[in-house]
Structure 1
Amino acid sequence: MTVAGLEQMDRAALSAAWSELFDTPVPKSLSQPLLRRFLARRLQEEAGASLSARHRKVLADAAAKPTRSVLPGGRLIREWNGVTHIVDVTEAGFVWNGETHRSLSQVAKAITGAHWSGPRFFCLRKGDR
């Protein structure tokens, strides 16, 4: 099996290659193009290719950064233009002013009228305060 040969493979052949290379079933959510990318990377690793120092640093930095997650049952409070806004976190999304939004960015836009990163607007990322 070669990286170039992956392009000719159908879903069944890609699934068989996945099982051989990863010893796990293929995740159902993976599209064929993404499956090909994962398989190509694994073949390159087995051939001795490794990530560049820059890419290793990017991955290490990303893994080292703490993430803050907002769990259902949580409440976010943010003051904007003298008004205190309260957002409740539910399984269905984020409830603000009785309306459920799918993302914090939608809530931030509803509050400000401008596009914001929701996590940034609600100071959920380190250094946003």
Structure 2
Amino acid sequence: MSAPQDSPPQRRSGLRDPQRAVRGLGAGTLALEALVLLLAIQPIRVAGGDLGGAAIGAVVALAVAAAVLAGLMRRSWAWHAGTALQGLLLLSGLLHWSLFALGVIFALVWAYVWHVRRVILG
């Protein structure tokens, strides 16, 4: 016997709106990244880091880009732009080693966000 035609489609995740949940996870991650990047400037400078103007400019630009991307998570390309942002943060490690450390941490978090997205959305 087949299932009735009027039954609603089954949701794999059990979430009411999986797309929205995944977008929220991506946006929250990028917003947190922007906040951490901005808050990291002063501790890096105090802890003996020779954080020059170029490095501070790069951190601020990356934080702004992360905040903008957090607001654009409805666009499918924003996920790929978020991945590129992680790569740029890793490259900013050339300016200061602590930026590379932050890049590794957030790249791992972003990889986990992609994993969750793949599991929930299929």
TM class by shorter chain equals: under 0.3
TM-score if structure 2 supplies the norm length?
Answer: 0.26
TM-score if structure 1 supplies the norm length?
Answer: 0.26
Q: Specify which structure has the higher proportion of strand.
A: 1
Which of these two proteins has the greater Rg computed from alpha carbons? 1
Q: Specify which structure has the higher proportion of helix.
A: 2
